[in-house]
Amino acid sequence: MKRIGLITSGGDAPGMNACIRAITKYCLNIGIVPIGFFDGYQGIIENRCLELGFTDVNNIIHQGGTILGTARSEEFRTAQGRSKAIGNLLSNKIDALICIGGDGTFAGANVLSEEMNIPVIGIPGTIDNDISGTDHSIGYDTALNTVIDAIDKIRDTASSHHRIFFVEVMGRNSGFIAANTGLASGAIDILIPEREGSIEAICEKLEKGRQRKKTSSIVIVAEGCKLGHAQHIADQVSARLKDYDTKVSILGHIQRGGDPTSFDRILASRLGVAAVEGLIAGRKDEMVGIIKNQVVYTPFEEAIREGHHIDEEVLRVADILSI
């Protein structure tokens, strides 16, 4: 194996740079040339790439975002787009490809693997943590801490004004960010796609809180919540509990930025090295993850199909402590 291609794809996640650094340094140290393609699969289609050297990855371990850029490529979904991509991988003499991203990235990698003979390994990088085959994806821990920091600030003003804040967090169809930040921030309720909920149940909790002299509260709403977006839920609660002062805060893309936590830097570094080691050992069409602190490789199909299930214990403890 002489030349390994590398992309970051889908939504960026803090720690992707630490992972690019790990792959680059490890490759160079063992005589493999790492080639970074820009903007995910789109960069492969357009043949925009760079042979990475040590200086390209100096001082990036602590930076959020991705120096390679990222994208959700529509063209890559077409057979024509993928055929261009394969042509460019071959013309650049790429012996193997590493894709850092989420489920969309792995779905793409899986199709690509079926259409070419170049081995592909995936590394989970998404704040959503919605992929099976790993306990944590790169960026998730940083996102949790960003959300907690924001909620702590919201709580200050919520308690001063005796308000109920509905805080909407990211996660697409997964409630990982909501559930864990809900527990860590002492939220009165956590609304996630994985659980049925009702406006009546939220009102009941708020009323119970009031009976216990709670004059301000935080309700976490995952963006994929079945009851709708935070504003919609807040409006319905306000219509029922007219004397409550309700506010909505949508945290948005700040959750995707910022310096990676030490946890994400370590995870990204370990997964970067494990991906290269896996390729050298002849692995392909798999995602590398860490489960119970051990490196594991999971076939793409399984990683995408299984989904990552929320720890019921987190929800149980959050419920016990919510009021």
End-to-end CA distance of the chain: 57
Q: Does 69 bind ligand F6P (CB under 6 A)?
A: no
User: Can you give the length of the chain in residues?
Assistant: 323
**Min CB(66)–ligand F6P separation in Å:** 13
Q: How do 164-169 and 217-222 pair as beta strands?
A: parallel
Q: Does 180 bind ligand F6P (CB under 6 A)?
A: no
**Min CB(57)–ligand F6P separation in Å:** 24
Angle (CA) 66-72-75 rounded to 5° is 130
Q: Does 138 bind ligand F6P (CB under 6 A)?
A: no
Q: Tell me whether residue 189 is one of the annotated catalytic residues.
A: no
Residue 252 amino acid letter = G
Element (H, E) at 17: helix 16-29
Enumerate residues 6+ apart whose C-beta is below 8 A from 292.
135
- Find the largest Cα–Cα distance for the chain: 70
Q: How far is 194 from 221, CA to CA, in rounded Å?
A: 12
Return the structure tokens found at 116.
Answer: 């070419």
Catalytic residue among 39, 128, 141, 264, which?
Answer: 128
Q: What is the 3-state secondary structure (H, E, C) of 184-233?
A: HHCCCEEECCCCCCCHHHHHHHHHHHHHCCCCCEEEEEECCCCCCCHHHH
x/- mask, ligand F6P, residues 17-56, rule CB under 6 A, reads ----------------------------------------
Question: Given the complex with ligand F6P, which of 99 and 116 has the nearer CB atom?
Answer: 99
Residue in the block written with tokens 């370990």: 270
**Min CB(292)–ligand F6P separation in Å:** 25
List 15, 171, 182, 193, residue binding ligand F6P (CB under 6 A): 171
Q: How far is 11 from 65, CA to CA, in rounded Å?
A: 9
**Min CB(176)–ligand F6P separation in Å:** 10
Q: Does 102 bind ligand F6P (CB under 6 A)?
A: yes
Query: For the packed helices 140-161 and 262-280, what is the interaxial angle rounded to 10 degrees?
Result: 160
Candidates 146-154, 170-178, 190-198, 273-281 — which segment interacts with ligand F6P by CB under 6 A? Answer: 170-178
**Min CB(290)–ligand F6P separation in Å:** 20
List 21, 82, 256, 265, residue binding ligand F6P (CB under 6 A): 256
x/- mask, ligand F6P, residues 150-169, rule CB under 6 A, reads --------------------
Question: Given the complex with ligand F6P, which of 87 and 228 has the nearer CB atom?
Answer: 228
Q: Does 128 bind ligand F6P (CB under 6 A)?
A: yes
Give the three-state DSSP class for 165.
strand
Q: Does 127 bind ligand F6P (CB under 6 A)?
A: yes
Residue 298 amino acid letter = T
Binding site for ligand F6P (CB under 6 A): 11, 102, 126-128, 170-172, 223, 256
Active site residues: 128
